[in-house]
Structures are given as structure tokens and as C-alpha cells.
Chains A and B, each alone.
Chain A
Amino acid sequence: MKFKRLWAMSKKEFLHIIRDMRSLTASVLIPITLLVLFGWALNFDVDKIETVICDLDHSYKSRDITSHIAQSRYFKVIAYAESTKEIEKHIMFGRAVLGITIPHNFEKMLAQGFSPVVGLIIDGSDSNKANIGRGYILAMMNTFSSEVFQEKMTETGIKKVKMPVEVRQRVLFNPELESKNYIVPGLIAVIMAVIAAMLTSLTIAREWERGSMEQLISTPIRGPELILGKLLPYVLIGYVDIAISMGMGIFVFKVPFHGSWLVFFIISTIFLIGALSMGLFISVVAKNQLVANQISMLLAFLPAFLLSGFVFSIANMPLPLQIVSRLFPATYYVKIVKGIFLKGIGWEILWYDMLLLVVYCLVLFLLATLKFKKRLG
């Protein structure tokens, strides 16, 4: 390996990059666009659930319940109905997800010691929202029931009754349970996986297409000099993209960063080199820009997005998919970035995932180098 040649190769590649305004702009705009799109669109916090209330009792007690629902930030009452049929109609037309019916004589039955039945109608076609809405209503009705129970006890002379079991919760790392706090760090990892593979997947294929590769391989340059020389300038671009994504994550999305910057920087560098090497490997194999671009989207974007545990929990996937997900480095990087961001964990926990990233990085660089032949055909 001749350092001078490696350096000349990197310099040449760097000039290509900075003189190609279109690609340069794209490599800056893509992370911004993805972050904006997914950072805001991918929101799993469910509130303002569209609700229809059918209060047939019109009593003090029934209004106690309906006003509770109407004031909660989790529900948005879109209509008051006079019958269950009407609720169903609202749900049918997609105007509401949830409807609650309070029967005639609700207050009277409570007073007489019967258990009146409150009806809950849920739109199961939006199962996530429906489930969460049901949970809120059930919790609300439990509170209501225990209050009624307490009143009864007081009436019969028993002063103070304590609930048999009490739950006291403490949420670690993301006390507000805001979904953006775990989506944005994962998203940054996914963006880096996609960008890195895309950046390099074109560079070698482009030289084959333009014919300059033929001239280049007629010189004494060696394979590793060429591959590494092409890789280095893209590490710089990768750093710029990391900085942009991190800046947006912290200042625009206000995601707290609890970990060590140094750990984050080192691990990101390793991941970046691995992902860039994968792009180079694809480029070496494909020798065609269009094919290289499509393969890199397929191999980088899909697994990073769907299998990395960024959105969908790996533990819930069927076993074969779980195994596949572990073959892609984005899986480890997503886990690491989330860990550093939210939990502030360091080497003591991350060393194993990092080791895997190092192995992946080396394997792909070697693959790209070995697959690159200084011959035609």
C-alpha cells in the first residue's frame, strides 16, 4: 500500500464530490427530509381519540362520567348520540373510533346497589388506537367505580377504606413516555445506514460506466488503495450528515442526549466505515449505477427500517426474521444510538454490539477489496 497513491485517490474522489453540486445537495437534504418526515409523521402517542357519547340517563352521575371524558386530552368528543345505532353510524363513516353508552336509570341503579352496564363500542380496524382508547376508558371507569364504592362505604359508616393494592410507577429514561424520544435516535441510525450505502454505491459503478476505470486499472494502483481512497472522503460527508441529524434531533426535536459524545463518535465512525464499505462492495459487484443504487436501497433501507428494531420490536418477530435482523449492522447501531441517547450507557454495556460492528466493518471492507479486480470482464 502506497500512502501517496491512497492520498491522491482520496483527493480526486473528494474533488468529484464537491464539484457535483447535485449529489452534494442530495447528501445533505436527504437526512433533513427523512428526519422531518419521519420525525413528525411517526408519532405513536395516541391522544384526541375521536369519541361519541350516548348519555341516555342525563343524570348527575352520568354527566360526571361524560364530562371526565370530554375534558381528558386523550379523547375528543365529536358528537353526542341518542342511540347505539347512531354511534355505530359514526364509527362506520370513520368519524369516530370509540363510542360509549350510558343506559337509562344509570344513577338510580347505582343508588339501589345494582351494577349498571356501560356499553363501549370500538372500531377494531384501527386496533392500536382502539386498544389504547379502551385502556383509557377502562382505567377511567375503574376510578369511577372505586369512588362510588368509597361513597357507599362512607354512607354505611366506615370512615376510610384503602384500596387493597396500590401501584406506584416510575418511568426510566423517557419519563414523559414520548414516542419521539425513541423514534428520533433510531431514525438517525437508520438515516446513516441508508445515506452511507447510497453515497458509495455509485462511485465505482460510475467509473466503469464512464470508462475512466479502464484507464485507472491500467496503472499500477492496487485494489486496497483504490477502495480505501474512495472510502475516506465519504467518511467526511458521513460526519456532516451525522452532525446534521444530531443537531436536528437535539435542537428541533428536543430529544435529550444523556450519553458520552466520544463513545457516540467512535461507534458512529465504525458503523459509517462499515456501511460505506457495503456501498463500495455493491458498487464493485454491480458495475452499473442504476443497479447499484437499487441494490443499496434494498440492502440498506429495508432492513434498517423494518428489521432493525427502530419501529417494530425485534422480540415480536418470528424467529427467522429475528435471525435476519441480526445479520444487518443497522440493528446494532439502532440499539446503540438509542442506548447512548436515552439511557446514557457507555462501553461497559455497548462493547459487545460494538465488537460486532467492528467485525462487520472489516468483513465488508475485505469483501469490497477482494472482489475488486484490476481486469475487465
Chain B
Amino acid sequence: MAEIAVSVKNLYKIFGTFHAVDDISFNVPSGCIFGFLGPNGAGKSTTIKMLCGLLKPSSGSGRVGKYDIMKDSEEIKKNIGYMSQKFSLYDDLSVIENLQFFGTMYNLRGAVLEERVETALKLAELSDSRHILTQILPGGIKQRLALGCAILHKPQFLFLDEPTSGVDPMSRRNFWSIIHDFARIGITVFVTTHYMEEAEYCDYLVLIYRGKIVVEGTPAELKSSKLQTNIYRLNCTAPSLLYEKLEASQKFSEVNLFGDAVHIVSPDDIAGVQKAISDIADYEKIEIVNLQKILPSLEDIFVLAIAEANKR
């Protein structure tokens, strides 16, 4: 791929004795959608804030474009767009007042400001309701308006901290398609999320857990990675009860509930697994509808990786 847009080496952020970010290194190629995944409290936001110049790293080094994250935080701020976790626009200002305010903060003025504000209004589909107060907008629209505010100055880098949290699935899909459009015109998008299914939308993924990188790669790489084990999907009449029993039996390396199916991780072949399950299911009088070996989803891989990390 292209040149490196954002890079980080041996980055640490320590609060007291808590290692929020614990020795992280990665490179983000220019114009790619870089997904930073992990459960809540894994260190995603801390990392993104250090990249945006909002938090000073405890140690390590990093660059955003040609700027050093330790020294040039104010230069970085001129060249990035940042959307914080809770779309922090001003609720008591109207849509256009918010856009004009943030545009001016980025030194836009006159005709340029007007034009960029119009573009952002179109992006948020708010051209006709520009004078309404932000507080009455629904979450999905608000989030797109916040995105519009973050790209007014046409930054080369976009940092989005959990942009889709608390937004309905339709709006989320919509939002990701906008992000793809940005990547297509060469903007590097660094996005954090704890929705595993959103990982599929990214060009490159890093899974972070307890301040450390657990796995990384493109979605394709991760899925084809040589798992030492097999994953089976089981459909049955009482999935949550069977899930509990299987988990308690400790016969499998991992048992997880995915919707109304149970995912079972085991090094054994399907016959062995079938036998082990049947023993428990028959006893509980649960009927097994279907058991099949499946290709691991990204979610499976992350769950496995986190389980692996927990064992260490």
C-alpha cells in the first residue's frame, strides 16, 4: 500500500499504576480505514486521544503525518478531524451555528466557510433544517453532523472515537458508507469501535485488550489465519441452557452464545464433538437441530484471541 500516515512505536500511557496503553506499536497506511477494536476500557480512546494531541503519552513515540505526537500536538490539531465519543456539539446552538463555529475554529472564513458548511449540511442531510437546535436531532443525524463538523477543514486524517455507539443499525451502515467515501478520496480514517461486526468494514484491524495489541491484520488475513482449532455452530431447542451446561462441562476449549446459536471451539473433529454434546443434551432432554463446522468470523477470532490473552 501507500506511504505510512500514522505510526506509533512502544507507546505507553500510565495513570498511576494503571497501564491504560501498554507498549503499543502499529503503522497506518495512508488512505486506509484503520479499525481499532476492543472491549470497553481496553485503551482505545486513550490511544486515539494521544494521537490527536489531547493526551500526552507517558513514553514512546509516534507520528501523525509529519508531526511528532510528543512535540507537535498543536500542529497535529490543524491537520486532523476528531470526533469524540459523545458527539460533543453544542446542544443549545442550531445546526448551522455549530458548523459555522467549528469552521471558524479551523480558520475558515468567507466564501470557503460558506461552501464547506453547505457540504457538511448535505452530508448530514440537514440542508432544509439548518436552523433547528441540535438538541432535538436524533442520534444518527447528530452523529453525522458531528462528522460534518470534523471534516469542515478537509483534514488528511480523521480520528473517530466510537462514532457509532448508541446509534441504530441503519444509521450505522449509512455512516460506514460515508467513511468509505472519505477513504476513497485519500483520507486516512482511524476509527475505534466495540462493535465486532463493524470490523468487516475496515481495511486493517488491530484488536486491543487491556492496553495491549492482541491480534492484527486485514480482515481476510485474520480469517484465514491458521487456527489451531475448529469452530462448530450448534442449533438446538434450548440454546442458553445448553450453553451453560456445555460451558460447565469443561470439555471444550471455548463455548460461546451467538444469538440463538452456540459456537463451540474444540481441537476435536466433528464426530468427537457431536458425541460429547449429545451426552449432555440427551441428559437435559435438549434436541440438537444442527451441528456444523464453520469458518471463523472475525468475532470468533477476537473472542478466541481475548480468551487466549486472559489465559496468559
Contacts of B71 in A (CB 8 A): none
Contacts of B146 in A (CB 8 A): 215
Interface string of A189-207 (1 = CB under 8 A from B): 0000000000000000000
Determine whether the beta carbon of B55 is less than 8 Å from that of A375. Answer: yes
Q: Does A58 contact B (CB under 8 A)?
A: no
CB distance from A224 to the nearest CB of B (A): 13
CB distance from A317 to the nearest CB of B (A): 44
CB distance from B193 to the nearest CB of A (A): 18
Cross-interface CB contact of A220 among B52, B74, B85, cutoff 8 Å: B74
Cross-interface CB contact of B54 among A2, A5, A7, A376, cutoff 8 Å: A376
Q: Does A8 contact B (CB under 8 A)?
A: yes
A11 to B83, CA, bound (A): 23
Determine whether the beta carbon of A375 is less than 8 Å from that of B54. Answer: yes
Known A15-B97, A374-B74; contact A219-B92, beta-carbon cutoff 8 A: no
- Chain A residue nearest in CB terms to B161: A214
Q: Does A170 contact B (CB under 8 A)?
A: no
Determine whether the beta carbon of B89 is less than 8 Å from that of A221. Answer: no
CB distance from B240 to the nearest CB of A (A): 37
Cross-interface CB contact of A211 among B49, B77, B86, cutoff 8 Å: B86
Q: Does A132 contact B (CB under 8 A)?
A: no
CB distance from B14 to the nearest CB of A (A): 11
Determine whether the beta carbon of B92 is less than 8 Å from that of A212. Answer: no
Determine whether the beta carbon of B88 is less than 8 Å from that of A220. Answer: no
Q: Does B73 contact A (CB under 8 A)?
A: yes
Contacts of B106 in A (CB 8 A): 219-220
Q: Does B82 contact A (CB under 8 A)?
A: yes
Contacts of B97 in A (CB 8 A): 12, 15
Determine whether the beta carbon of A20 is less than 8 Å from that of B82. Answer: no
Q: Does A218 contact B (CB under 8 A)?
A: yes
Contacts of A19 in B (CB 8 A): 92
Where chain A touches its partner, the secondary structure class is helix
Known A12-B90, A15-B92, A212-B88; contact A218-B80, beta-carbon cutoff 8 A: yes
Cross-interface CB contact of A20 among B54, B77, B92, cutoff 8 Å: B92
The residue among A218, A220, A377 with the most chain B CB atoms within 10 A of its own CB is A218
CB distance from A111 to the nearest CB of B (A): 86
Contacts of B49 in A (CB 8 A): 376
Known A8-B101, A220-B105; contact A214-B77, beta-carbon cutoff 8 A: no
Determine whether the beta carbon of A215 is less than 8 Å from that of B54. Answer: no
Interface members, chain B 52-76 (any A CB < 8 Å): 52-56, 73-74
A19 to B73, CA, bound (A): 34
Q: Does B78 contact A (CB under 8 A)?
A: yes
Q: Does A160 contact B (CB under 8 A)?
A: no
Known A220-B77, A375-B73; contact A4-B104, beta-carbon cutoff 8 A: yes
Contacts of A2 in B (CB 8 A): 107
Cross-interface CB contact of A16 among B15, B53, B92, cutoff 8 Å: B92
Interface members, chain B 124-140 (any A CB < 8 Å): none
Determine whether the beta carbon of A215 is less than 8 Å from that of B82. Answer: yes
The residue among B97, B101, B102, B105 with the most chain A CB atoms within 10 A of its own CB is B105
Interface members, chain A 313-335 (any B CB < 8 Å): none
Determine whether the beta carbon of A215 is less than 8 Å from that of B89. Answer: yes
Determine whether the beta carbon of A214 is less than 8 Å from that of B107. Answer: no
Determine whether the beta carbon of A220 is less than 8 Å from that of B54. Answer: no
A217 to B15, CA, bound (A): 21
Determine whether the beta carbon of A5 is less than 8 Å from that of B89. Answer: no
Cross-interface CB contact of A216 among B15, B83, B100, B105, cutoff 8 Å: B105
Determine whether the beta carbon of A214 is less than 8 Å from that of B104. Answer: no
Determine whether the beta carbon of A217 is less than 8 Å from that of B92. Answer: no
Contacts of B102 in A (CB 8 A): 215, 219
Contacts of B119 in A (CB 8 A): none
- Taking A220-B105, A376-B54 as known contacts, 6 extra A-B pairs with beta carbons closer than 8 A to each other, sorted by chain A number, are A4-B104, A214-B88, A215-B82, A220-B74, A375-B55, A375-B73
- List 10 tightest A-B contacts by C-beta distance, closest first: A8-B104, A219-B105, A218-B82, A211-B88, A212-B88, A215-B88, A214-B84, A19-B92, A220-B78, A211-B86
Residues of chain A having any CB pair with chain B under 8 Å: 2, 4-5, 7-8, 11-12, 15-16, 19-20, 210-221, 374-377
Please list 12 pairs of residues, one from A and one from B, whose beta carbons are closer than 8 Å in the complex, sorted by A's number. Answer: A2-B107, A5-B104, A8-B101, A210-B91, A211-B85, A211-B88, A213-B88, A214-B54, A220-B74, A220-B106, A220-B107, A375-B56
